[in-house]
């Protein structure tokens, strides 16, 4: 590659979306946000939906902005996992996708395990048991008119790609999160689908990160002011898969990662899945990564707890100053009020400060005395959950970690990064913030001819061009060990992650 490539990365998170402009040269990597928008759920009757048509409108607006004055060479889309839209035989969408936080899957996991054992599910899919996994969403929809007439299931990035190109498929890193994917053969586990009543016809052809989905439909290209020959390229369409691509790790380095946003994904990167009984009991997941890697990780509730507190505190129209709250929280007393952030009671939206206070009282602790103390409790509790996950990942994988990389929005949170270093007893390298967009851009660029033959080359370019901040562990390890024992003394509670 001699000339600089310019691509558009659509990066959709659970609370907001962005369209980013990426420029990649032989020694340069730049990312520029051109359009940001809110991504919030919409409740219709008892059901919590995604406004997927609104998302598509915003994606088109962002791509149109990106096209102004730039010769785009490609487009890639990544998003959160597990949620989907159903298409009929004509390609029409059968209703707005349901949000993974909707309660329609309550009790479904237990029903599925009466047909397929937890041992068999883990042996085939390697996934942790999360009640909102795609398999449980689909089982909850059995008997509905939508599922009866559905011709294809498309995960969110693939649905948006279908509207842009008219091409149907499922990118593998995101497909691997459905609990309908065989992690060893890297194919759909159609036998599992059929046993629980899910019609295998709805599972679309699989594609790999780096494959070309298709060129823009002529009408879409005309509306955007783009050439119809511009390809949409499959990237690591699960946003964490793209984030892990952009970890600025040194070649051969032994690292753990925390992809920190609304959720925190904490784990290590492997060449093959870990399907042991110990990994299953620890509720670790084996998700597909770019270039056939395995993301061996545990989901932690993440900054959702803080986001919901801020939303609750802002209902009077006075939006709290997060930077000031974090500054105050840094000086608040340590280890006063701690929670297990993965307790199921924190999953739903609404009244988060009250639920955290109630959980503290129920465990014999004082409730946080103010907002800063509440933020301190959340940050310390997340750091403790990270500590447990990083240590478990090392033990289960046999990899001794030297450093922890925090990427994503949480890498800007200095208090969280420092507490994470203290809790893990390891250096933390924080950044880049826009890791998922950068990973998206890098995979596109390789497909388009950039000399980025492997993940190591991509990461080397990230390390050479992006800002990373280092945090050294401080404090007493014994204090964190005691706090961990306080919070996670009930192993069955921990397994509900």
366-383 pLDDT tens trace: 999 999 999 999 999 999
CA 483 remoteness from chain centre: 27
Model confidence at 317, in pLDDT bands (50, 70, 90)? confident
Tell the residue number behind the tokens 């033959």, with chain if given. 453
For residue 111, what is the enclosing H or E element? helix 108-113
What pTM does this model have? 0.93
Residue 475: predicted pLDDT: 86
pLDDT cut 90: percent of the chain above it:
93
Residue 493: predicted pLDDT: 40
Model confidence at 311, in pLDDT bands (50, 70, 90)? very high
Q: What does DSSP say about strands 29-38 and 152-155: parallel, antiparallel, or unpaired?
A: unpaired
**Mean pLDDT, to the nearest integer, of 214-222?**
97
299 closest CA partner among 486, 133, 427, 184? 133
| Distance (Å) of CA 138 to CA 92, 93, 364 | 18, 16, 39
Per the prediction, the chain carries an average pLDDT of 95
Q: Is 239 a catalytic residue?
A: yes
342 closest CA partner among 177, 135, 28, 130? 130
Q: Do the Cβ atoms of 354 and 232 come closer than 8 Å?
A: no
For residue 311, what is the enclosing H or E element? helix 304-313
What is the spatial distance between Cα 9 and Cα 476, in angstroms, rounded to a whole number? 42
Is the pLDDT at 12 greater than 60? The verdict is yes
Is the pLDDT at 2 greater than 80? The verdict is no
Q: How far apart are the first and last CA of the chain?
A: 44
pLDDT cut 70: percent of the chain above it:
98
Residue 15: predicted pLDDT: 87
* 467: its two tokens: 């800002």
What is the spatial distance between Cα 213 and Cα 76, in angstroms, rounded to a whole number? 9
* 307: its two tokens: 């986001």
What is the Rg, in whole angstroms, of the alpha carbon atoms belonging to the chain? 22
- The four Cα atoms 219, 225, 229, 231 give a dihedral, to 10 degrees, of -90
Residue 489: predicted pLDDT: 76
Is the pLDDT at 316 greater than 80? The verdict is no
What is the spatial distance between Cα 161 and Cα 157, in angstroms, rounded to a whole number? 6
What is the spatial distance between Cα 174 and Cα 241, in angstroms, rounded to a whole number? 8
Model confidence at 497, in pLDDT bands (50, 70, 90)? very low
Is the pLDDT at 492 greater than 70? The verdict is no
What is the spatial distance between Cα 44 and Cα 459, in angstroms, rounded to a whole number? 43
Model confidence at 275, in pLDDT bands (50, 70, 90)? very high
DSSP 97: P
Three-class secondary structure of residue 449 per DSSP: coil
Count CB neighbours of 255 within 10 A.
18
In terms of Cβ atoms closer than 10 Å to its own Cβ (0-12, 13-18, 19+), residue 325 is buried
Task: Write phi, then psi, for 312 (nearest 5 degrees).
Answer: -65, -45
Q: Positive or negative, the Cα torsion across 52, 58, 61, 67?
A: negative
**Mean pLDDT, to the nearest integer, of 227-248?**
97
What is the spatial distance between Cα 203 and Cα 175, in angstroms, rounded to a whole number? 10
What is the spatial distance between Cα 469 and Cα 405, in angstroms, rounded to a whole number? 10
- The four Cα atoms 455, 458, 462, 465 give a dihedral, to 10 degrees, of 160
Would you list the DSSP string of 178-241? Answer: TT-EETTTTEE-HHHHHHTT--GGGSPPEE-TT-EEEEPPHHHHHHHT--TTPEEE----BHHH
Of 78, 158, 239, 342, the catalytic one is 239
Least confident of 33-37, 238-242, 346-350, 358-362: 346-350
pLDDT in tens, 167-185: 999 999 999 999 999 999 9
Count CB neighbours of 29 within 10 A.
22
The sheet with strand 212-215 has its strands ordered as 29-38, 16-24, 5-12, 74-78, 231-233, 212-215
Is the pLDDT at 360 greater than 80? The verdict is yes
């Amino acid at each position: 590659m001699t000339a600089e490539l310019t691509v558009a990365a659509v990066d959709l998170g659970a609370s907001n979306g962005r369209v980013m402009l990426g420029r990649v040269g032989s020694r340069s990597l730049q990312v520029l946000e051109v359009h940001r928008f809110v991504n919030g759920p919409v409740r219709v009757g008892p059901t919590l939906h995604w406004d997927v048509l609104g998302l598509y409108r915003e994606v088109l607006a962002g791509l149109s902005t990106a096209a102004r004055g730039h010769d785009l060479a490609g487009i890639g889309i990544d998003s959160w996992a597990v949620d989907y839209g159903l298409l009929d035989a004509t390609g029409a969408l059968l209703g707005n996708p349901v949000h993974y936080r909707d309660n329609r899957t309550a009790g479904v996991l237990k029903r599925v395990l009466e047909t397929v054992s937890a041992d068999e599910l883990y042996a085939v899919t390697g996934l942790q048991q999360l009640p909102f996994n795609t398999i449980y969403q689909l089982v909850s929809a059995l008997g509905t008119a939508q599922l009866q007439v559905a011709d294809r299931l498309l995960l969110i990035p693939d649905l948006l790609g279908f509207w842009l190109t008219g091409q149907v498929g499922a990118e593998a890193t995101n497909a691997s999160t459905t609990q309908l994917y065989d992690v060893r053969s890297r194919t759909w586990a159609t036998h599992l689908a059929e046993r629980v009543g899910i019609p295998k016809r709805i599972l679309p052809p699989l594609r790999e990160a780096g494959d070309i989905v298709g060129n823009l439909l002529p009408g879409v290209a005309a509306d955007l002011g783009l050439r119809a020959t511009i390809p949409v390229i499959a990237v690591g369409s699960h946003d964490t898969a793209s984030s892990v691509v952009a970890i600025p790790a040194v070649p051969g380095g032994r690292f753990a990662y925390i992809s920190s946003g609304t959720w925190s994904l904490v784990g290590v990167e492997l060449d093959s899945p870990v399907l042991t009984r110990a990994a299953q009991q620890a509720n670790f997941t084996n998700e597909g990564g770019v270039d056939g890697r395995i993301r061996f990780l545990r989901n932690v509730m993440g900054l959702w707890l803080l986001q919901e507190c801020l939303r609750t505190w802002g209902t009077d129209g006075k939006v709290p100053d997060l930077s000031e709250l974090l500054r105050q929280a840094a000086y608040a007393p340590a280890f006063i009020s701690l929670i297990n952030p993965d307790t199921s009671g924190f999953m739903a939206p609404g009244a988060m400060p009250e639920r955290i206070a109630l959980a503290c009282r129920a465990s014999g602790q004082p409730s946080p005395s103010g907002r800063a103390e509440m933020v301190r409790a959340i940050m310390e509790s997340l750091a403790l959950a990270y500590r447990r996950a990083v240590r478990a990942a090392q033990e289960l994988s046999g990899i001794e970690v030297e450093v922890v990389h925090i990427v994503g929005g949480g890498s800007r949170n200095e208090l969280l990064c420092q507490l994470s270093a203290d809790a893990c007893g390891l250096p933390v390298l924080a950044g880049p913030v826009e890791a998922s967009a950068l990973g998206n851009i890098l995979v596109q660029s390789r497909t388009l001819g950039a000399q980025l033959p492997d993940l190591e080359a991509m990461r080397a370019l990230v390390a050479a061009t992006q800002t990373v901040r280092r945090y050294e562990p401080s404090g007493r390890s014994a204090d964190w060990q005691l706090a961990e024992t306080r919070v996670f003394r009930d192993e069955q509670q921990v397994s509900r992650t």
